[in-house]
Amino acid sequence: MPRPPAVRALAAAVLCAGAVPAVSACGSGQAGQAAGASPSAAAATRPAGPASPAPAALTAAQAQAALLTEDDLGATWRPAEGVATWRDGILKARTTAAPDCRRLLDALYADQPLGVPKGTYAVTGFDDGDGAAQLRQQVLSPRPADVDRSLAWLRTLPKTCARFTATTTRAGVQTVRVSDLALPAAGDARQGLRVTFTGPPDGADGSGSGSGGTDGSDGGDGADVTTLSVDVVAVRVGGDAFALTDGAPGTLPSGATDAAVRRGVERLTAVRGSGRAQA
């Protein structure tokens, strides 16, 4: 005699309750699929762990400790006694060239190759006792992405501002040339520029301008002279950075920029390593 539907449902429930290993056979729909999911699939659904924290910004003391010293540059260098006279006389200039060239002149005069400093910042300067050269260094702790954007912009300048004219404060109209500067393979990312201001001898000011080597490529008469040469360097070291400007009337002291780049990376790396060891 057939059993009523209620009796059949009760029997099925009792059968599943008594057969624990066969739970998956008694389930249906999404519940049954979840029970049969593989361990790897289950692991993939777990929330990801916290990301590694970004390195802390340099402290003011660390930035100061990472600055170059006289010993890093050589016996002829001493702490700067003020701003070089050629900064106002030549770097304070204007041009009608492309906007990037105007931005470059502004960055040179303000001594800010990486833009306006944000956050931790320290600066130092040195004069070369054998001439009128001055080297300035900044140590910063900006966002790495901001540094990389500045480096990318600097890399465009040898093409966009290879040659243009600028009217200076005391050296008259100068031809400005921008070229790539080879640097030591130091740091994580870097860019260097050599910027020269060239004009006629009678356009030189009283700060020693016009005492450098001859550059006859302008006008073809061989009379023009290099009024000022400036090396501009920016280097990223991990999440930190430093910038250098090394300028002199005429020609620059040999090897000074390269030595400053190498020692700058070494000092910044050492400061960061010391900070991690103390953490």
DSSP state of 46: S
Residue labelled with tokens 């993939």: 44
Whether residue 75 is found in the same domain as residue 195 = yes
Kind and range of the H or E run holding 135: strand 134-140
Instruction: Say how many domains are in the chain.
Output: 2
Task: Give the lowest-confidence range in 4-8, 108-112, 213-217, 247-251.
Answer: 213-217
Predicted pLDDT at 275: 60
Instruction: Give 21's pLDDT tier (boundaries 50, 70, 90).
Output: very low
Q: Please indicate, yes or no, if residue 52 is contained in any of the structural domains.
A: no
Whether residue 151 is found in the same domain as residue 190 = yes
Q: Please indicate, yes or no, if residue 265 is contained in any of the structural domains.
A: yes
Comparing CA positions, the residue from 185, 215, 188 lying closest to residue 200 is: 215
Predicted pLDDT at 30: 44
Most confident of the ranges 28-32, 120-124, 252-256, 274-278: 120-124
DSSP state of 131: S
**Whole-number Å distance between alpha carbons of 108 and 219:** 26
Whether residue 109 is found in the same domain as residue 188 = yes
Whether residue 163 is found in the same domain as residue 78 = yes
With a cut of 70, say whether residue 137 has pLDDT above it.
yes
Instruction: Give 273's pLDDT tier (boundaries 50, 70, 90).
Output: confident
Task: Give the lowest-confidence range in 7-11, 54-58, 206-210.
Answer: 206-210
Whether residue 31 is found in the same domain as residue 151 = no
Predicted pLDDT at 130: 76
Between residues 138 and 212, the one the model is more confident about: 138
User: Mean pLDDT throughout 246-257?
Assistant: 92
Tens digit of each residue's pLDDT (9 = 90 or more) over 70-111: 999 988 999 998 999 999 999 999 999 999 999 999 999 999
Tens digit of each residue's pLDDT (9 = 90 or more) over 32-60: 444 444 444 444 444 444 444 456 789 99
Whether residue 28 is found in the same domain as residue 121 = no
CA dihedral of 260, 262, 268, 270, whole degrees rounded to 10: -130
12 is in which domain, residue-wise? 5-44
Comparing CA positions, the residue from 235, 227, 225 lying closest to residue 193 is: 235
Predicted pLDDT at 119: 84
Whether residue 19 is found in the same domain as residue 86 = no
Whether residue 124 is found in the same domain as residue 78 = yes
CATH number, domain of 120, equals: 3.40.1000
Predicted pLDDT at 35: 43
Q: Please indicate, yes or no, if residue 49 is contained in any of the structural domains.
A: no
Whether residue 102 is found in the same domain as residue 208 = yes
Instruction: Give 123's pLDDT tier (boundaries 50, 70, 90).
Output: very high
DSSP codes of every residue in 181-214:
----S-SSEEEEEEEEEEE-GGG--TTSTT-S-B
Name, in order, each residue with C-beta under 8 angstroms of 218's C-beta and a sequence gap of 6 or more. Answer: 175, 198, 224
Q: Please indicate, yes or no, if residue 110 is contained in any of the structural domains.
A: yes
Whether residue 124 is found in the same domain as residue 232 = yes
- Pairing state of beta strands 189-199 and 173-180? antiparallel
Whether residue 104 is found in the same domain as residue 170 = yes
Whether residue 148 is found in the same domain as residue 198 = yes
Q: Please indicate, yes or no, if residue 54 is contained in any of the structural domains.
A: no
